[in-house]
């Protein structure tokens, strides 16, 4: 999978995107398919929770939000995120609010708890400052549940939560901002890659069970994407014939190969559980060969340390770039990704359900 720049006409890009998205997008203005949606994750899902934290992991300034209504919000892209598009595809008329700003009856439609730099492990990401780890996100969800109980009444709460959809996208930072930084973290000295993936999955299993115990039944668990293909790692390590850094993607595979059986185990052993595994590696690798995408190894914005430099003008042809900054996709990539998560293009994209199917369970 090469990362050379190949120019392909925009009309081809538009045709292919329409082919993938039309079946999904016709549902945007339809009936809301679940009563609420909750998102947990990192900067790929964050929509403003880091704005008030003391951290370097912030995006509430231009050029972030260049194509988002109202401008910068704390989303790490030029426009909408994958959770934004998923909410639209599920029929929500507004994007799911960030926990930091969700108040009153707004939480009835769900809450986004995601936080840039967050990971499965509490210590992941601390080198950039404060962040809301998955354990803290679970505590924030408990606070939301308490508020929902007041709004709905304890008798209705359990049934309400059982019908809601949950999406959890965690683990990338446990590699990018932990295991792959031996100068700051001891994890790579304490664990082999196989041992580290097992350690992460053990922690993750307890966290997902906590989510279940708090009422979640329909849960989409995202696997890791090919983080060995992000621009900074391409510049840091020798690139293989695949066009990416294979040994890092091998780490990802170790994690994903344990995550899918975990999802199956949860479904087998937890009554009424409807967990599903989203194969982000399969979906993400499809993006690199998507017609219309011409730049896969450079960021669209002017990058400082991983993130966009404030107030610098980004590239004008944003729909041709995979990455807006060094790590985060452009809006057009997020739209394509969400469409494939919602309606699986290949059987390998989701198991046992895509999100459209999960919502109907």
User: For residue 229, what is the domain's CATH number?
Assistant: 3.40.50.1110
Give, in order, the Cα–Cα distances in Å from 95 to each of 84, 90, 110, 258: 5, 11, 9, 32
Element (H, E) at 299: strand 295-299
Assess if residue 17 is contained within a domain. Answer: yes
Two structure tokens written together for 258: 């344990």
H helical segments located in the chain: 10-25, 82-89, 134-152, 154-163, 172-174, 187-190, 193-213, 231-236, 246-269, 280-288, 331-342, 355-360
Matching residue, tokens 């969400």: 338
Assess if residue 58 is contained within a domain. Answer: yes
CA–CA separation, 176 and 326 (whole Å): 12
Assess if residue 1 is contained within a domain. Answer: no
Residue 313 domain boundaries: 10-360
Assess if residue 41 is contained within a domain. Answer: yes
Range in 29-38, 39-48, 243-252, 265-274 with the lowest mean pLDDT: 29-38
Burial 112-131 (b: 16+ CB within 10 A, else e): bbbbbbbbbbeebbbebebb
What are the catalytic residues? Answer: 43, 325, 328
Assess if residue 64 is contained within a domain. Answer: yes
Matching residue, tokens 């934290």: 53
Residue 4 gets the label, from left (phi > 0), alpha (psi -120 to 50) or beta, of beta
What residues pair up with 157 in beta bridges, in sequence order?
none
Assess if residue 3 is contained within a domain. Answer: no
Residue 186 contacts residue 195 (beta carbons within 8 Å): no
> If you count them, how many residues does the chain have?
361
Range in 67-71, 151-155, 289-293 with the lowest mean pLDDT: 289-293
Q: Indicate if the alpha-carbon torsion angle 80, 207, 99, 53 is positive or negative.
A: negative
The more confident residue out of 15 and 256 is 256
CA–CA separation, 77 and 63 (whole Å): 9
Residue 319 contacts residue 10 (beta carbons within 8 Å): yes
Domain count, the chain: 1
Assess if residue 49 is contained within a domain. Answer: yes
CA–CA separation, 37 and 91 (whole Å): 11
Range in 10-19, 93-102, 179-188 with the lowest mean pLDDT: 10-19
CA–CA separation, 330 and 81 (whole Å): 8
Q: Average pLDDT of 5-18? A: 36
Report whether pLDDT(9) > 70: no
Report whether pLDDT(16) > 70: no
Assess if residue 5 is contained within a domain. Answer: no
Residue 122 contacts residue 173 (beta carbons within 8 Å): no
DSSP string computed for 310-341: TT----S-GGGEEESSSS-B-HHHHHHHHHHH
Rounded mean pLDDT of the chain? 92
Q: What is the pLDDT of residue 170?
A: 98
């Amino acid at each position: 999978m090469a990362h050379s720049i190949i120019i392909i006409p925009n009309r081809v890009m538009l045709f292919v995107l329409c082919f993938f998205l039309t079946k999904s997008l016709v549902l945007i203005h339809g009936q809301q398919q679940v009563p609420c949606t909750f998102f947990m994750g990192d900067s790929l899902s964050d929509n403003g929770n880091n704005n008030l934290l003391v951290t370097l992991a912030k995006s509430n300034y231009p050029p972030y939000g260049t194509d988002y209504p109202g401008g910068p919000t704390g989303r790490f892209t030029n426009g909408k995120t994958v959770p934004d598009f998923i909410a639209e595809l599920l029929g929500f008329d507004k994007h799911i609010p960030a926990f930091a700003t969700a108040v009153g009856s707004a939480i009835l439609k769900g809450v986004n708890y995601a936080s840039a730099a967050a990971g499965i492990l509490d210590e992941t990401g601390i080198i950039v400052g404060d962040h809301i780890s998955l354990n803290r996100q679970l505590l924030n969800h408990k606070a939301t549940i308490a508020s929902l109980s007041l709004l709905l009444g304890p008798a209705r709460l359990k049934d309400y939560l059982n019908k809601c959809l949950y999406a959890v996208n965690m683990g990338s930072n446990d590699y990018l901002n932990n295991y792959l930084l031996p100068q700051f973290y001891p994890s790579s000295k304490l664990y082999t890659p196989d041992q580290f993936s097992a350690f992460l999955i053990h922690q993750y299993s307890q966290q997902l069970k906590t989510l279940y115990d708090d009422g979640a039944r329909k849960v989409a668990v995202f696997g890791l994407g090919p983080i060995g293909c992000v621009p900074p790692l391409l510049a840091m390590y020798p690139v293989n014939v695949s066009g990416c850094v294979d040994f890092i993607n091998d780490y990802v595979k170790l994690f994903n190969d344990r995550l899918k059986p975990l999802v199956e185990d949860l479904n087998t052993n937890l009554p009424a559980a409807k967990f599903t595994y989203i194969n982000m590696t399969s979906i993400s690798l499809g993006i690199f060969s998507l017609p219309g995408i011409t730049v896969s190894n450079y960021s669209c914005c002017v990058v400082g340390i991983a993130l966009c430099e404030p107030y610098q003008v980004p590239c004008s042809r944003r729909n041709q770039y995979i990455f807006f900054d060094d790590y985060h996709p452009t809006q057009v990539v997020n739209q394509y990704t969400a469409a494939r998560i919602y309606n699986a293009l290949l059987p390998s994209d989701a198991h046992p359900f895509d999100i459209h199917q999960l919502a109907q369970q």
